[in-house]
Structure 1
Amino acid sequence: MSLRLKIVSPEKVEFEGLVDSVLVPGTKGAFEILNNHAPIISSLQTGKVEYAVNGVRNQIQITGGFVEVQKNVVSLCVEIA
């Protein structure tokens, strides 16, 4: 595990920790974020954010938001469905 993920909604921090991968519903299509992903900022649409911790997949349903990736740190600011 080498990605640090932080998922924040207006209500609270939904998740913060180390993950193997993150799959997000980008407005131009879903994409997966893995170790050493290029820096990116993207808007998100309604769908599922999936993240893997020790091979176990977890999901959060969102209605939109943004994702930023920089130096193996993935930050999501989302509206929870």
Structure 2
Amino acid sequence: MNVEIITPDKELFNGEASSVIVPGSDGLLGILNDHAPLISSLTNGDVKLKTTDGEKTFTVNGGVVEVLNNKVMILAE
């Protein structure tokens, strides 16, 4: 699935990942291919991606995640 992580200042990541874990406001959310459509707010924490290059971690201070048609967009602070 395609993943984009964007902050007000820059794009942190844009590429393919096999799984994504985000700090949702009600707890951790795990996202895999063909996940149902979803919009959720994020709290402070780490976004973890599994890519072909290994695991990548990005720290966010809140934001929003949208999942739609195997695309994950994270608008982070």
Considering the TM-score relative to the shorter chain, is it more than 0.5? yes
1:54 to partner: Cα distance: 1.5
Match of 1:41 in 2: 39
Q: Secondary structure at the match of 2:9?
A: coil
1:14 to partner: Cα distance: 0.6
Match of 1:26 in 2: 24
Match of 1:54 in 2: 52
Matched letter for residue 30 of structure 1: L
Q: Give the aligned length.
A: 77
Identical aligned residues as a percent: 40
**Cα root mean square deviation, aligned:** 0.8
1:53 to partner: Cα distance: 0.6
Runs of 4+ aligned structure 1 residues displaced above 2 Å come to none
- Taking structure 1 as the reference length, the TM-score comes to 0.92
Match of 1:75 in 2: 73
